[in-house]
Amino acid sequence: MKINWFPGHMNKALKDISEQLKKVDVVTYVLDARIPLSSFNPSLDKLTQNKPTLFVLNKIDLADEKRVKDLLKQFENKNTDFVFYNSTLSGKSDIILNKIKQLAHEKVEKYLSKGVKTTVRTMVVGIPNSGKSTLVNSLCRKAKTETGDRAGVTKRGQWVSVGDCVEVYDTPGTLYPNIENQNIAKKLAYVGSVRDEILDFVEIGGAFACDIVKIYPDVLKNRYEIDSFQDGFDVLNQIAKKRKFLCSGNEIDLERAGRTIIDDFRKGRLGKLTLD
Ligand SMILES: Nc1nc2c(ncn2[C@@H]2O[C@H](COP(=O)(O)OP(=O)(O)OP(=O)(O)O)[C@@H](O)[C@H]2O)c(=O)[nH]1
Ligand SMILES: [Mg+2]
């Protein structure tokens, strides 16, 4: 199975992002802390490379913070900043707003020196389902944008006023036209950034099992009491047998086992994990 998902609304979104960027002082680039490298989108990187950028390592509550820190060392430079964040918690958004204003300090100071208060504009970009709209709602402390536990909820851009002289543009999650690196594509699928309907959950669940034990050897033992296995199918087989997942005709339901392991990962039931 080759994983690729680039629906028409994403192509439109990238054009709109390019247009709206002219009005924007700072880019707020939301990365999924469970895949901090694989959640970079080369199409977005190209568009936003000349803007000061705040990288929000979102979903940090589900991720392995130490591993994320090690991975990000390579990106430190003076025109960027990082923040680890959980967008579902309320009352923490000042950290983000302050960092955005800091990155726009040249503009803010220029206007202040003339005695004028200016508006700082930021655009929130990132892969689907990384939590962009939830972050925007967290910044304005109101549910002004639609959010949802699946890829592709936001279909068009939307300006939202956050108060205290900051405006935010929420954008649809974007991927890129051809994901050649299928290791990256699999990780995007594991975290829910690719539409679930195009995935084969036997394949993706089995692949996840094999990938995760390379980084966290005890995960399958801790959650499913699986001590050893031959391949991904064997893992799903063992889970299905232990949980008595049967199809009609009493056949083992491998698909349900595949969905179970992916769902357990997404909900944090396997622990705080980072896959890059
Ligand atoms: N645990 C956890 N869940 C989060 C966090 N941020 C967002 N979510 C959840 O992730 C899911 C996706 O959130 P959205 O804000 O709709 O994601 P999005 O990036 O706007 O998605 P698209 O519009 O499809 O691109 C929702 O179920 C949110 O509740 C976070 O920091 N931690
Ligand atoms: Mg959204």
Q: Is the dihedral of CA 253, 259, 263, 269 positive or negative?
A: positive
Among 88, 125, 140, the mutation site with the greatest number of ligand 1 atoms within 8 A of its Cβ is 88
Ligand nearest to the CA of 13: 1
Q: Which amino acid is at 16?
A: D
Q: Which amino acid is at 51?
A: K
- DSSP 8-state secondary structure symbol assigned to residue 175: -
For range 182-187, the mean pLDDT: 96
Question: For the domain bounded by 200-266, which CATH number is listed?
Answer: 1.10.1580.10
Ligand nearest to the CA of 152: 1
For range 76-82, the mean pLDDT: 77
Cα 191 to chain centroid, rounded: 7
Position 259 scores a pLDDT of 98
Question: Which residues line the pocket of ligand 1, CB cutoff 6 A?
Answer: 58-59, 61-62, 86-88, 126, 128-134, 147-149, 151-154, 172-173
125 C-alpha to ligand 2 centroid (Å): 9
Which tens digits make up the pLDDT trace of 236-269? 999 999 999 998 888 999 999 999 999 999 999 9
124 C-alpha to ligand 2 centroid (Å): 9
Q: Is the pLDDT of residue 78 over 70?
A: no
Position 143 scores a pLDDT of 92
Return the CATH fold of 8-170.
Rossmann fold (3.40.50)
Computed over every residue of the chain, the mean pLDDT equals 94
Atom 30 in ligand 1: which residue has the minimum CA distance?
59
Q: Where are the domains of the chain?
A: 8-170, 200-266
Burial 6-36 (b: 16+ CB within 10 A, else e): eeebbeebbebbeeebeebbbbbbbbbbbbb
Among 96, 139, 147, the mutation site with the greatest number of ligand 1 atoms within 8 A of its Cβ is 147
Strand partners, 169: 123, 159
Which tens digits make up the pLDDT trace of 89-100? 988 899 999 999
